[in-house]
Amino acid sequence: MEGPITDDAREAVLQAALTRVDVQTLRETLQAATDPRLPVATPIANALAALRRHRDPRSVLGRAQYRAALPFAAAVLAEPCLAAVIEALGDAADDPTRDQLLEAVDSVGDQFDDVTVAVMLASVADGEMAASDLCFALLDTEERFGLTDWERYRRAAPGAGGTDAPAAPPAPRPGASAEQRAARRAKKQRDAEEKRHRAEAAARAAERVRQARKLERLAAAERRPDTDGVDRPAAPVVPSLGRRRAVLTPLEEEEFDPDDPWSAGVVLAWIRFDAVDPDEPELEGKVRPCVVVAGSATHLLVRPGYSEGGVRSRDWKSVPVRHWRRSGFDQPTWIDVVSVRVPRPELGPAGWLEPDDWNALW
């Protein structure tokens, strides 16, 4: 790309990178981005929740109502890769050369595929970081990342014909007064200022995500099951005969153990609503019975349960529990297909899924 890198070019590269992510990974990323621990502004949280409800979120990434959410979603997906690349760069992390950055990217190639690396580079290119322009240049020129055609995702300015050249300032309309022209200039300045504030907020939120995940990884590495000092109520270990092993994403495997003693157990956990409840708009979520998929020392990966008549029970992807009484549920229940990260509760499982109900989830 010739000339300075514009904001709309950075947005187009970010959208192009997220479009190449497979649907399941993107949906899991959007779910992780709605973690209540993360400091997400309400408009962005609403946009993330709405985006996740699409069958294929990739097909609507370019819509105006979702643009503010894309930097945050990309930061959540790219965080492990970015941390690995920064570690590989060492002292050169603040201002690497092109060769140093390529060498660092190559060194993590056995952990992250080119699609994930491309999202990481696009996330940095879209943020206010020292290497933003370098990351953009790599995506613009390196065919291995598959984004050299990023310009087709660019939003063309009205009358610009989709060209790279910046549009000339519009001539004043016949009869437009000096006050009207001044009002238009003021509106453009306000829009630009608002956009800058959104970008800064997204960058700050992404940095908090990286720091929170880093602290959790350090805490998990220092803890041991017999010395972590956590006084948990004794809970029976689920019998594993006939049960399949839970299938986790690479991102989930970094934090959670599918062989956790509570796996397949039924626990109570607070689950955030996907959208505002019109009957109780002040509520952000509720406590639901959940099936434990995997666990760590401080958190669980669960699939929420929904009662008969709820929206999830009418979702063709939800899984009905056949032996709901035997498993510890107090009414017919449907299990969601999306996993949620929640703090580990003090009380252990109230029951366990029967093997055929558990295996139906996988």
The amino acid at 298:
T
Q: What is the pLDDT of residues 58-78, one digit of tens each?
A: 888 888 888 888 888 888 888
**Mean pLDDT, rounded, for 269-295:** 81
**Mean pLDDT, rounded, for 232-257:** 70
Average pLDDT of the chain is 77
CA distance linking residue 307 with residue 74, whole number of Å: 33
3-class SS at 158? coil
H-run or E-run covering 351: strand 351-352
pTM for the whole structure: 0.46
pLDDT of residue 249: 87
**Mean pLDDT, rounded, for 345-362:** 87
**Mean pLDDT, rounded, for 130-136:** 84
H-run or E-run covering 188: helix 178-222
**Mean pLDDT, rounded, for 171-192:** 66
CB atoms within 10 A of CB 136: 22
Of 39-48, 207-216, 229-238, give the lowest mean pLDDT range: 229-238
Let me know: does 312 contact 336? Beta carbons within 8 Å.
Answer: yes
Which domains occur in the chain, in start order? Answer: 7-157+187-211 (no CATH), 250-360 (2.30.30)
pLDDT of residue 87: 87
**Across 205-339, where does the E strand assignment appear?**
265-272, 285-295, 299-307, 319-320, 333-335
3-class SS at 182? helix
